[in-house]
Structures are given as C-alpha cells and as structure tokens.
C-alpha cells in the first residue's frame, strides 16, 4: 500500500528531487535577477550589432562568470565576473579580456560594464 501512496502523490517525489538538486547550488555564487537582466540587455544589443554570437554562464563556488563569445568555437572575448571575496577591496564585479587583462573592476555592475558598452560610454 505504501507503493500506491507514492504513486498517488508524485509531487512529493518531485519536491525531493528538487531539494536534492538545489543543495549543491546553494553554496555557489550566482548573478541575481537585476544583474543578469543588465548583462543580458547589453548582450542583446551587441548581438543585434553583430559583434557577439554566444554566451556561457558558470556558477562556481567562489565566483559567477558570464562569458561572451564572438564564435562558439573560440575563447571568450570578455568575461564578466562576480567575486564576493573582493567586495571590500577592488569591487565585486570585473570585466576581463580574452588575454586575461582586467579591463575594469568596481562595486557597481553598470559602471563596470561601461568599458564594453560603447553606446553609453560615448555619451
């Protein structure tokens, strides 16, 4: 009879699977909705201009990385990183070029992205 009750209420099984899947991600650094919205708005404009074609998002234990590619078979041309360990030092956000050069670091994502976003930088 216990096997029938498990089959009768599949939502409990799904909830257990979701909780198990969320466990490892809970200790990872992620972008919040506003940060991701700002990054994807910039990405959308650059795709419309024909400069960027692909992206990847990595949520690691110590940082979150949004990588931008000109072609998916290449190395990323820019990496936008969020590293909470640097929050009290140079700033939590940084933009890194393909060669590994840190182009800009800061505490505010909008100001850090100005190094890439030429449209706003010209104004």
Query: What pLDDT sits at residue 51?
Result: 87
Confidence band, pLDDT 50/70/90 cuts, at residue 121: very low
Helices (H), 1-123: 2-8, 10-25, 33-48, 109-113, 118-122
CA distances from 113 to 49, 91, 120 (A): 17, 13, 9
Q: pLDDT by residue (tens digit) across 56-106?
A: 999 989 899 999 998 777 789 999 999 988 888 888 999 999 899 999 999
Number of domains in the chain: 1
Q: Which domain holds residue 39?
A: 33-122
Query: What pLDDT sits at residue 33?
Result: 93
HSE (CB half, 13 Å, CA atoms) of 87?
A: 6
CA distance 54 to 60: 20
- The verdict on residue 21 lying in a domain is no
Query: What pLDDT sits at residue 21?
Result: 59
- The verdict on residue 71 lying in a domain is yes
- The verdict on residue 6 lying in a domain is no
Q: pTM above the 0.85 mark?
A: no
- The verdict on residue 49 lying in a domain is yes
Query: What pLDDT sits at residue 96?
Result: 93
Confidence band, pLDDT 50/70/90 cuts, at residue 118: low
Q: pLDDT by residue (tens digit) across 6-60?
A: 455 565 666 556 555 555 556 888 888 999 999 999 999 999 988 888 999 999 8
Using CA atoms of 56, 91, 40, 26 in order, give the dihedral in degrees to the nearest 10: 60
Query: What pLDDT sits at residue 13?
Result: 62
């Amino acid at each position: 009879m216990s096997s029938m009750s498990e089959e009768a209420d599949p939502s409990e099984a799904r909830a257990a699977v979701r909780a198990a899947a969320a466990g490892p991600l809970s200790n990872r650094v992620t972008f919040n909705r506003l940060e991701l919205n700002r990054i994807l708005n910039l990405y959308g404009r650059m795709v419309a201009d024909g400069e960027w074609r692909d992206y990847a998002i990595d949520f690691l234990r110590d940082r979150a990385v949004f990588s931008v590619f000109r072609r998916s078979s290449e190395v990323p041309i820019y990496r936008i990183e969020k590293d909470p360990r640097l929050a009290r030092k140079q700033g939590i956000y940084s933009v890194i070029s393909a060669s590994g050069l840190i182009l800009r670091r800061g505490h505010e994502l909008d100001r850090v992205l100005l190094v890439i976003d030429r449209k706003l930088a010209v104004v």
